[in-house]
């Protein structure tokens, strides 16, 4: 594609994002004023970032639990392999 068209697409996308942000800021101010006039409170739903953070915390806890379990199993297996071979047959005694 021609470099000029690529540049144009970039700047159009950037302009659209900027316009969308500006529009949402304007709408927030109007919404707040309307809520103030009507006496309704804003709906308190979890912010997307808070939802993601909670999900990451849950996944981190799960991963830590699975890691502890895997380490425990590995230690158990290693502990069984450390028995002493006293008769020279290559088989460990328990």
Q: Do both 10 and 38 map to the same domain?
A: yes
Tell me: pLDDT of 26 over 80: yes
**Same domain, yes or no, for 1 and 37?**
yes
In angstroms, what CA-CA distances link 48 with 19, 55, 61? 21, 11, 20
pTM (2 d.p.): 0.36
Domain-located, residue 90: no
pLDDT confidence of residue 3: 84
Mind giving me the DSSP string for 18-40? HHHHHHHHHHHHHHHHHHHHHTP
88 domain residue, yes or no: no
Domain that holds residue 3: 1-43
Could you tell me the pLDDT band of residue 94, with boundaries at 50, 70 and 90? very low
Total count of domains within the chain: 2
- Is residue 86 a part of any domain in this protein? no
Residue 27 lies in a domain: yes
Distance of CA 79 to CAs 28, 32, 39, 71, 76, Å?
Answer: 63, 65, 68, 12, 5
Most confident among 5-19, 35-49, 76-90 (mean pLDDT): 5-19
Return the sign of the alpha-carbon dihedral for residues 51, 56, 59, 61.
negative
> Which of 42-51, 52-61, 67-76 has the lowest average pLDDT?
42-51
């Amino acid at each position: 594609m021609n470099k000029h068209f690529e540049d144009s697409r970039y700047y159009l996308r950037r302009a659209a994002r900027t316009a969308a942000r500006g529009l949402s800021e304007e709408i927030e101010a109007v919404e707040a004023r309307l809520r103030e006039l009507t006496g309704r409170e804003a709906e308190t739903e979890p912010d997307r970032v808070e939802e993601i953070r909670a999900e990451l915390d849950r996944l981190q806890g799960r991963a830590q639990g699975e890691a502890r379990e895997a380490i425990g199993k590995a230690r158990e297996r290693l502990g069984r392999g450390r028995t002493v071979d006293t008769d020279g047959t290559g088989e460990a005694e328990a």
